[in-house]
Structure 1
Amino acid sequence: MSEPIALAFEDRQYSLADLDALTSGMALDLQQRGVGVGSRVAVMSSNRPEFVVALRAIWRLGAAAVLLSPAWKRAEVDHAVALTAPTHAVGDHPVLADVLPMRHLDEPVAPGDTAHVPVDPGADAVLVFSSGTTGMPKAVRHTHASLAAAVRQWRDALGLTATDRLQIMTPPSHILGLLNIVMALDTGAWIRLHRRFDIDAMLRHIESDRITIEMAVAPIALALSAHPDLERHDLSSLRYIMWCATPVTESVAHAVTARTGVTWVTAYGASELPVIACNDLDGARLDTVGRAVDGVAVRIASLETGEPLGPNAEGEIQVFSEAVMGGYLPESATSEAFSDRWYRTGDVGTLDADGWLRITDRAKEMIKVRGFQVAPAEIEAVLHGHPGVEDCAVFGVPSADGEAIVAAVKSADSVGSEELAALVADRLASYKKPRRVVFVDDIPRLPSGKVLRRVLRERVMSACAKSGGNCGRPTDQ
């Protein structure tokens, strides 16, 4: 009797035995290159089976994987490598190959036999990146224990079993893609990986692969609701669609349900603490992000005093969980992320007496673009490098797919919006490119120099409204 298939990719299929054999061979290769217990290995890869093999091989050797986004440009990779100091690299991206000697994932894996190194639960398993408001991304350290707790919590929240079938289109460097891959293989569920998001491929494979749970970030949800032939696809295998990474746009979710009969569930998490809350699988309340999952405690703290507040009071969402990160790199950033061992999300919300959690605002200044966190200061640093920019500030405005990036620029020069947007696109990942560049007379700041982003946002949006919606020429995205 043949082994059941665990992973599919294009026309290739792999059983767990296949993956284990490839993992052993890859581990031997990496071991011969010097990877061992405590090593850090940079991984920059598209979504492919070889990524899964490399990740499992790194863990087999007692090393930690540093996951770099395949959307990043050289400056972002240089920063991440300097911060985490990996000694080895594996991937399929030329940018990483220019920075470190890289074992390319296209190289064949020879059969090999490597023993599992006993895993220290407190040792780092993976480092992912979460942008901070002060500039370039911070590295988030997850130990084997915290990642295992997150996998267990996510599996229980989804009601996932070995009979479920998923497809994964989100980048494996993002905590959501990583968690889904590890969880599915750990549970024995079937998964299909896709190199990139394609709405038509997604719909075809829901039908042909009989997918039972579909993961959707905002762009995927929008593509579903706008698809002209949505009704022609058989989506009856789906138990539900999970909306992740950004708050639900209820009109979009309801439009898809009206056309297909498939219902939605929403969840809430962060790179630092992957699983916080999830809706009931039956009868989800999409005006909330659900209730704290088993093993997680949520509280609301006063924005002024930090003291815990009662039901329905608005304040910062704080979380206590064994799945919380081990800390940041740089280490100096870790202490301010916690309040008496409670993780400070930076999100503002309310928690009612029945435990339903609502997000109402963000205390941090991060911009959520298509599920990715973008630090305004990172874009501002690029814009300040242009000789025609006297001052600038970046902020987010509501958009159908989360938030759109707006750059407000003070300039005495005749620099154009397209030129500035192209400068950002050349230096940073494409999703960090401003959707709109607005020219202003001044950038409001405190005496300390801190940008008053909320004041600036309100001023720009008010001017936009008064001019009939013309608040600067949108850039081509």
Structure 2
Amino acid sequence: MTDRVCLAYADREFTTTDLECLTNGTAEVLESRGVRAGDRVALMSSNRPEFVFALRGAWALGASVVLLSPAWKRAEVDHALAVTGAKHAVGDHPVLAEALPMLHLDEAVAPSDRTFPALDPDTDALFVFSSGTTGLPKAARHTHRAFAVAITHWRAALGLGPDDRMQIMTPPSHILGLLNIATALDAGAWIRLHPRFDVDTMLAHIQSDRITVEMAVAPIALAFAAHPRIESYDLSSLRYVMWCATPVTKSVADEVTARVGIRWITAYGATEFPVISSNPLDDARLDTVGRPVPGVEMRIVSVDDGAVLGTGQDGEIQVRSASVMAGYLPEDATASAFADGWYRTGDIGNLDADGYLRITDRAKEMIKVRGFQVAPAEVESVLHGHSAVGDCAVFGVPDPADGEAIVAAVARTGAVEESELITLIGDRLASYKRPRRVVFVEEIPRLPSGKVLRRVLKERVMSACAKNREL
């Protein structure tokens, strides 16, 4: 194979040989620190080339990787380590270094031409965290075989090949960021990594790097639409922009297209099932999330009795494929995620006569902020720790920039102000889990079983806020 540049970061470039040798060198350093086949290695990193070397280096040793968000605070990291049993750490984040002895990604690694045994495809590759509605985040367990299938699906959906050029600003701890990196390398495409999102940087590099495929979530699309000088950039190299992780705001997409001619595609996936559906490249219908990708089966079932529903009927979206996760940690959370071998997405939708999927509601109570899932129970557990909070419940409301914004309803038993509770959550949890608003209520409506009547609460709060012109 011809050696070629495949990875760029700032003013550094790496060839395919560099990637292989630095992966091997990182594997040797991890091995010297005690990492062995079957171990779980926590990885908490910004988007940088060393993330790729560490991920692949751990895999070379037969270890699996536990992906931790660099936005997390110590309590979240401690939970992830406890759930997965990770005993080794690599990254560039002080929070992980406080929790475990950590190989810092700034440490020099010597390239190596050592070879390692072939991987067993049925061993664990990844643990990626996904929020649930009744407790702290769960780790979705992916084998090498399943993740390889997901890469195949994503490559086909993107029509990605060796002539393509991508830049990646989404966090590598999120399934989308990781999948983009892995798929681009698998396809032989060229990629540039950026440590964070900046709209001017993104636009400038589309122009200078001749980017062909761009990834966007709602904040990126809105930044495009709001940019006063977007017409000054040469974006003609783009084949399309893929809008992922958050619902498409068609008016925003149409506005950007009218200004600079960008073509949009949309797709649908989950942490547990990375690629579910995508718009065909030759027939994008942005009011849908496309058709199931080849290799994924889909059905719509009644939320009442599980019966399979027909065209145009709303029900829970269930899917199955060789790309689905192997299960959760904790393991007891796995059974409820499946029905007769079908993965239960928890989303409500319907299939039209042409096989295009429309998502109309969420059966689960997760809140999706900038593509990240937030469990109401996790935020509520922090609020319950305050002595002046008698009861509370958390829900999401639509937000044009973030997809959803978090609102906390709190019944007080003592003196406490909104800002104090928002700060409390911000100190304990990642910034995207911080409520936009805290609304004080007389009581939290619950069933006799104790279950929060979240829809009733949301309607009450939204109605009261509308009267006061809030939210």
Q: Tell me the TM-score normalised to structure 1 length.
A: 0.97
Quote the residue 2:436 is aligned against. Answer: 435
Equivalent AA in structure 2 for residue 457 of structure 1: K
For the residue of structure 2 that corresponds to 1:390, the secondary structure is strand
Distance 1:444 1:429 in 2: 28
Quote the residue 2:71 is aligned against. Answer: 71
The CA deviation string for residues 336-377 of structure 1, in whole angstroms up to 9 with x for no partner, is 100110000000001122211000000000000011000001
Quote the residue 2:256 is aligned against. Answer: 256
Match status 1:356 vs 2:350: no
The CA deviation string for residues 381-434 of structure 1, in whole angstroms up to 9 with x for no partner, is 001111111111000001102000000111132311111100000000000000
Match status 1:466 vs 2:446: no
Distance 1:25 1:256 in 2: 44
Distance 2:288 2:13 in 1: 38
For the residue of structure 1 that corresponds to 2:349, the secondary structure is strand
| Contact 2:18–2:111 (Cα < 8 Å) also in 1 | no
Quote the offset at 1:2 in angstroms.
8.2
Quote the offset at 1:470 in angstroms.
2.6
Distance 1:113 1:126 in 2: 25
Quote the residue 1:415 is aligned against. Answer: 416
Quote the offset at 1:281 in angstroms.
1.4
Quote the residue 1:223 is aligned against. Answer: 223
Distance 1:419 1:229 in 2: 39
| Contact 2:69–2:174 (Cα < 8 Å) also in 1 | yes
Quote the offset at 1:24 in angstroms.
1.0
Distance 1:105 1:117 in 2: 24
Distance 1:470 1:265 in 2: 34
Quote the residue 2:111 is aligned against. Answer: 111
Distance 2:356 2:207 in 1: 34
| Contact 2:265–2:281 (Cα < 8 Å) also in 1 | yes
For the residue of structure 1 that corresponds to 2:17, the secondary structure is helix
Distance 1:117 1:249 in 2: 47
* Mapping for residues 378-457 of structure 1, pairs under 5 Å: 378-400=378-400, 401-457=402-458
Equivalent AA in structure 1 for residue 168 of structure 2: I
Quote the offset at 1:121 in angstroms.
1.2
Distance 2:321 2:35 in 1: 31
Quote the residue 2:303 is aligned against. Answer: 303
Quote the residue 1:232 is aligned against. Answer: 232
| Contact 1:5–1:16 (Cα < 8 Å) also in 2 | yes
* Mapping for residues 202-351 of structure 1, pairs under 5 Å: 202-351=202-351
Seq. identity, %: 69
The CA deviation string for residues 446-465 of structure 1, in whole angstroms up to 9 with x for no partner, is 11111111000011111122
Quote the offset at 1:236 in angstroms.
0.4
Distance 2:424 2:133 in 1: 21
Quote the residue 1:121 is aligned against. Answer: 121
Distance 2:303 2:2 in 1: 58
Quote the residue 1:137 is aligned against. Answer: 137
Quote the offset at 1:444 in angstroms.
0.3
Quote the offset at 1:307 in angstroms.
1.6
The CA deviation string for residues 83-128 of structure 1, in whole angstroms up to 9 with x for no partner, is 0011211000001001111011000002334322221111100110
Distance 2:118 2:149 in 1: 18
Distance 1:460 1:3 in 2: 60
Equivalent AA in structure 2 for residue 351 of structure 1: L
Equivalent AA in structure 2 for residue 159 of structure 1: G
Q: Which region of structure 1 is more displaced relative to structure 2, 409-418 or 127-136?
A: 409-418
Q: Which region of structure 1 is more displaced relative to structure 2, 427-436 or 105-114?
A: 105-114
Quote the residue 1:474 is aligned against. Answer: none
| Contact 1:28–1:113 (Cα < 8 Å) also in 2 | no
Please identify runs of 4+ aligned residues in structure 1 that moved more than 6 A: none
For the residue of structure 1 that corresponds to 2:134, the secondary structure is coil
* Mapping for residues 81-120 of structure 1, pairs under 5 Å: 81-120=81-120
Equivalent AA in structure 2 for residue 26 of structure 1: T
Quote the offset at 1:4 in angstroms.
1.7
The CA deviation string for residues 307-337 of structure 1, in whole angstroms up to 9 with x for no partner, is 2111111100000111000110011111110
Unpaired runs of at least 5, structure 1: 472-477
Match status 1:9 vs 2:9: yes
Distance 1:391 1:325 in 2: 35
The CA deviation string for residues 145-167 of structure 1, in whole angstroms up to 9 with x for no partner, is 11000000000011000000000
Equivalent AA in structure 2 for residue 79 of structure 1: H
Equivalent AA in structure 1 for residue 303 of structure 2: L
Distance 1:347 1:16 in 2: 40
| Contact 1:27–1:114 (Cα < 8 Å) also in 2 | no
Distance 1:420 1:234 in 2: 46
Distance 2:2 2:344 in 1: 48
Quote the residue 1:24 is aligned against. Answer: 24
Equivalent AA in structure 1 for residue 399 of structure 2: S
Q: Which region of structure 1 is more displaced relative to structure 2, 295-304 or 114-123?
A: 114-123
The CA deviation string for residues 157-192 of structure 1, in whole angstroms up to 9 with x for no partner, is 110000000000000000000001011111110000
For the residue of structure 1 that corresponds to 2:3, the secondary structure is coil
Q: Tell me the TM-score normalised to structure 2 length.
A: 0.98
Distance 1:250 1:283 in 2: 15
Equivalent AA in structure 2 for residue 337 of structure 1: A
Count of residue correspondences? 470
Equivalent AA in structure 2 for residue 465 of structure 1: A
| Contact 1:44–1:93 (Cα < 8 Å) also in 2 | yes
For the residue of structure 2 that corresponds to 1:396, the secondary structure is strand
Distance 1:38 1:151 in 2: 23
For the residue of structure 2 that corresponds to 1:139, the secondary structure is strand
| Contact 1:199–1:223 (Cα < 8 Å) also in 2 | yes
Distance 1:248 1:146 in 2: 28
Quote the offset at 1:61 in angstroms.
0.8
Quote the offset at 1:280 in angstroms.
1.6
Distance 1:440 1:251 in 2: 35
Distance 1:238 1:113 in 2: 37
Equivalent AA in structure 2 for residue 117 of structure 1: P
For the residue of structure 1 that corresponds to 2:449, the secondary structure is coil
